[in-house]
Each structure stands twice: as C-alpha cells, then as structure tokens.
Amino acid sequence: MHQYMQRVYDEVKARNPHEKLFLQTVEEVFESLEPIVEKNAELYEKYGVLERMCEPDRMIQFRVTWADDNGMPHVNRGFRVQFNSAIGPYKGGLRFASDVTLDTMKFLGFEQTFKNSLTSLPLGGGKGGSDFSPIGKSDAEVMRFCQAFMTELWRHIGPDVDVPAGDIGVGGREIGYLYGQYKRIKAVWENGVLTGKGFSYGGSLIRPEATGYGAVYYLVEVLKHFGETIEGKRIAVSGYGNVGWGIMKKAAQLGAKVTYFAGPDGYIHDPDGVTGDKLDFILEMRAKDPMHCKPYADKYGVEFVPGTKCWGVKDVDIIMPAATQNDVNEEWAQKIIDSGVKYYIEVANMPTTNEALAMLRKCEHITVAPSKAVNAGGVATSGFEMSQNSMRYNWTAEEVDEKLQVTMKNIYAASVEAAEKAGLGYDLVAGGNIAGFLRVADAMIAQGLV
Ligand code: 2IT
C-alpha cells in the first residue's frame, strides 16, 4: 500500500479496533484506490482526503423506548451516521435488524458515499437504523417502534439535510409510519424527507423494484461486453426481499430465469424459473413469514434443500448474492469457482468477504461486479423520488424506468473507463470504487478543509 494510504489505514484501525465490518470495507476500497492515490498522493495528502473520508461528519446514537402489545417496555438502540456531505445531503437507508451495531452503520455509510457518487446525482452518504427487528412483531408494535424512533431522529434530518430510506427490515410499511410521525412532529409537508414512500403520498413508481431492476440492467451491460445477451440465462440468487424479488421480476421480463433462490432456512431449486404468479406468491410468503422459503417448494412441487446456500450449483450462468453482508466466504467462493460459473454479480451491500472477493477476482473464468455499482439503482431512484417531490410532480413508471436504465448504463461505463484510465484493464470492482471516489474527492478538495 502507498505510504499515505498505509498511514491513514493504520490510523483508522487504531481508532476503530473493534469495527470489523467498517475496517473490511475501508481496506477493500483502499486497495482499489491505490493507483489513483499513488499518482496524486501529494494533493490528497495536502487536503487530508482519505482521513476525512474515513471519519463520518457526525454520528447520532439514541435510545428508542417502546412498549409491546402486553405493555412490556423495550429498549433499542437507534443510529444515524451522517458520513459525507461533499456532493449532496446525506442519503441512505435505515436498517432494522437484530444484529445492527454502530459498526454496521459505519460500513454501510462509508459504502453509501461512493455508491451515491456513482449515480452522478447530488447525494451525500449516510446510513441509519436500529437493532430492533420487525420480524415476529405485530403491526401495532412496529408502528409504535417507528414512532418512537422518529421522535428522536426528526431533529437530525430534512429534505436538504439528510434523507433516509429503507434497507433490510424497513419497507413501505415502516417508511409510512416514520413519515407520519415526522409530519406530526414538524407539522410541515416536507415530502422529500424520506424516500421509498407509498405512491399515494409522494413515493416514486418503480422505487420498490429499482434495486433489483438496476442490478439486472447492469448485468445486461456486463453480458454485452462479452458478446452475450441475458435471454435464456439461468441465475442463482440469495435473498428474496425487495432486491431479490426485483431481480426475479426483471430477469423474467427479459427472458432469463432465476432458477435457484435461497432464504434463511435453505434454498429452492425451480428449473422453470420464478415467473408469473410465482412472483406474487413470494410476496405473500414473505409477508406471512420472512424466515422460511420452504412453502414455495411445497406449493410448486420443486426441490427444497434445507440449511444451506445455493452457491456452487453447476447449472447456472450467473450468481447474484442479494441477501446481506459476508454471505460468501472463502469456502463458498471455492465452490463457486469450482462450479465453472462465469458471472459473479454482487447485489447486497458487501456480500463477499475480502478474502473471498480476492479469490473470485483472481479466477480467470469469472467476472466480478461490485455491489456499490450494481445496487446503486435503488438509491438513484430514491434520488428521482426527491426530484419529483421537489417539483411536486410525478413521473410515469416508464419515465422513471428509462432514467434508471440510463443511470445504470452510465455507472457501468464510468466504472469501465475509470479502471482503464488507471491502467487496470477491465476491472469493474476497482473501476467502481475509483469512479465513486474521484467525484467525492474533487468536491472535498474544492470545499477546503472542513
Ligand atoms: O443500500 C442502499 O443503497 C439502500 N438501502 C437504499 C438507500 C436509499 O436511500 O434509497
């Protein structure tokens, strides 16, 4: 590592010794930035670009107290990490999941900064959430929790300040309750304070599907590079939340098939692909019980393999981890390599450990695409929701979808170009990190030492 990078990395490590996820993403990004930093080390060092990028603008942590349906009190931890505002108001989702810590928030906020930059929209980086999980809670409990959470968060956010959205555990229902409480407390119609809203009160068409659709649009560009089309391709996905579901739907529309998908309880193998009414069934199944995908196998008479992941299956062309971080470790990476699959398209935020990522990138028959670029269609469409809220106007689904497609093509092209310019050849991982970095770095240098 270049000595400036090494110094900053050592400082980050010394300052955050227990933050494994945050250190993992910093290391991964730094590795990619090496050729760029080497060329401009003096400038970046003079403006403290790397050390400022690794320290959030501010972090807010608060207690969330709520009562369950039996009147029993519960205390959760709420977070909002406002990471970087060089190119726009803080923007990024809220994650409600029992394993959320400040470390999770920092890793996601750091990644969000580069991802948002790639969209070329005016969006800074932020992330928030809580160690509260909506799984197994009643609707009334989720509402009370969201209201308690927003009662603290509202003073830190705003349409020109910080604009949260959904992530794992936060969908349309939660955003609705959060928005209602924000409006009640502030007594204003600041429609753009949250994205992922319902269409009846300022949401954007296509936002629920946007991350999955965008991932498939990006994939189409990768395939094009190799003279291939998506038609007839077989895809294995992990996760069937909003993101996985969006992938299934768009893949089916474009003549490809998701033939494997995994949930917390095991995986499904449906050789005919998830198409037609099966897509609706997945929504129903998820709403009833998000921890089990086996009911799909029972309903459609297909194979269910309990207690394991679908990585390493031989009869697919493309792998798309779309569940959560560190889904693919070295052991799974080896199985993926041995399977002969050609495309490894990250979709979830940091779904691959750094060691596994290195193995997959080294493997000659595999092309790796990074999540920061691949999943950026979600936040880009959040940006489109903000634009519509500012205009007090709604675009049609076709208009939003068209903008999403253009954005994904541009992200892909910018990544390819950035890697080539840095002398790295066709390297989507490094290219994505570099392209995202350059815009933020330029803005930070222009705005001085703040
Ligand atoms: O990880 C992500 O990019 C998101 N959860 C979406 C963020 C957003 O503001 O739409």
> Could you tell me the residue ranges of all domains in the chain?
3-53, 58-189, 210-374
Report the percentage of the chain scoring pLDDT > 70.
Answer: 100
What CA–CA distance (Å, rounded) separates 253 from 179? 33
Summarised one tens digit per residue, pLDDT across range 134-159 is 999 999 999 999 999 999 999 999 99
What CA–CA distance (Å, rounded) separates 298 from 292? 12
For residues 234 and 317, the answer to whether their CB atoms sit within 8 Å is yes
Candidates 265, 180, 143, 209; CA nearest to 397 is 209
Give the pLDDT band of residue 448 (cuts 50, 70, 90).
very high
Site to probe by mutation for ligand 1, drawn from 167, 168, 211, 372 as the one with most ligand atoms within 8 Å of Cβ, is 167
Parallel, antiparallel or unpaired: strands 266-269 and 257-263: antiparallel
Summarised one tens digit per residue, pLDDT across range 312-341 is 999 999 999 999 999 999 999 999 999 999
The two structure tokens encoding residue 394: 């709604």
Q: Is 242 helix (H, G, I), strand (E, B) or coil?
A: helix
What CA–CA distance (Å, rounded) separates 448 from 430? 26
Q: What are phi and psi of 436, to 5 degrees?
A: -65, -40
Residue 82: in which H helix or E strand, if any?
Answer: strand 73-84
Q: Which of 91, 106, 115, 127 is the catalytic position?
A: 127
Residue 234: in which H helix or E strand, if any?
Answer: strand 234-238
The two structure tokens encoding residue 139: 């609707």
- Indicate the CATH number for domain 210-374: 3.40.50.720
CATH fold for domain 58-189: Rossmann fold (3.40.50)
Summarised one tens digit per residue, pLDDT across range 392-440 is 999 999 999 999 999 999 999 999 999 999 999 999 999 999 999 999 9
Average pLDDT, the chain: 98
Residue 260 confidence (pLDDT)? 98
Give the pLDDT band of residue 1 (cuts 50, 70, 90).
confident
Candidates 226, 252, 230, 247; CA nearest to 366 is 226
Mean pLDDT of 381-398: 98
The residue whose CA has the least distance to atom 9 of ligand 1 is: 92
Mean pLDDT of 260-288: 96
The two structure tokens encoding residue 297: 């196998």
CA of 351 to the centre of ligand 1 (A): 15
Instruction: Please list every protein residue whose CB sits less than 6 Å from any atom of ligand 1.
Output: 91-93, 115, 165, 167, 195, 349, 375, 378-379, 382
Candidates 387, 393, 439, 378; CA nearest to 159 is 387
Residue 211 confidence (pLDDT)? 98
Residue 70 confidence (pLDDT)? 98
Site to probe by mutation for ligand 1, drawn from 118, 382, 386 as the one with most ligand atoms within 8 Å of Cβ, is 382
Summarised one tens digit per residue, pLDDT across range 195-230 is 999 999 999 999 999 999 999 999 999 999 999 999
Q: Is 228 helix (H, G, I), strand (E, B) or coil?
A: coil
The two structure tokens encoding residue 44: 């970046």
Q: Active-site residue 127, yes or no?
A: yes
CA distances from 139 to 144, 284, 400 (A): 9, 16, 31
CB-CB neighbours of 450 under 10 Å: 8
Candidates 446, 447, 435; CA nearest to 119 is 435
Residue 257: in which H helix or E strand, if any?
Answer: strand 257-263
The residue whose CA has the least distance to atom 4 of ligand 1 is: 93
> Which DSSP letter does residue 80 get?
E
As to burial, measured by CB atoms within 10 angstroms (0-12 exposed, 13-18 middle, 19+ buried), residue 338 is exposed
Give the pLDDT band of residue 110 (cuts 50, 70, 90).
very high
Candidates 173, 104, 108; CA nearest to 135 is 173
Whether the model clears a pTM of 0.85, i.e. scores above it, the answer is yes
> Same CATH topology for 58-189 and 210-374?
yes
Candidates 115, 311, 286, 124; CA nearest to 214 is 115
DSSP-assigned letters across all residues of 287-300: HH-TT--HHHHHHH
For residues 36 and 4, the answer to whether their CB atoms sit within 8 Å is no
Mean pLDDT of 243-263: 97
